[in-house]
Structures are given as C-alpha cells and as structure tokens.
Amino acid sequence: MPCAPGIALAQSLPVPEQGQILAEIAALIQRDLTFRDQAINSGKLTLAQELFVLGRPLFIVLRPLGIEISMAGGKVCADYR
C-alpha cells in the first residue's frame, strides 16, 4: 500500500519535474541492481550474503512510497502508482 505522504508529494510536483525525478530514481535503482549483480557474479558474495551485507534493494524500499519499478527493453523504469 503506497504511503500517503509519498503520493501527496508526487502529485504536488509539476509534471516535467516528476519525469526527471523518476528518471533519476530509475538510474539509481539500475546502479543498485548492477552493483548487487556484480557482487554475486564475482563470487565475492552469495545471494544470502548480498542481502545481509547490502540490505533490501532500493526498489523494495521505495515501494511503500508508491514508486513502482518495471523493466522495458532491458531498462529500469520508475512510475508513481
């Protein structure tokens, strides 16, 4: 369930600014996922260790704020719900 203050904030932003913010959030999430993937694929961390050491992935942390993540053409996309 989205966080009411997060939704109110998102709705109060001008539309062009929302798009820019969502693009920045999507880029941050992509970096987070890439870093996690590299940590596991390099053999330095197991999946269980990755979750313990790095905590929850950013896209999961943002979900209660009403930010939904999807993949389109291999690219991360963010949207307010």
pLDDT tens per residue across span 68-78: 999 888 889 98
pLDDT band at 20 (very low <50, low <70, confident <90, very high): confident
Q: What's the rounded Cα separation, in Å, for the pair 18 and 24? A: 10
At 79, phi and psi to the nearest 5? -150, 150
Q: Write out the H or E segment, with its range, that includes residue 69.
A: strand 67-72
Structure tokens at 74: 């291999």
pLDDT at residue 27, as a whole number: 94
Q: 1-11: per-residue pLDDT in tens?
A: 556 777 777 77
For CA atoms 19, 68, 60, 75, the dihedral sign is negative
* In the block, residue with structure tokens 């999961």: 60
Predicted model pTM: 0.74
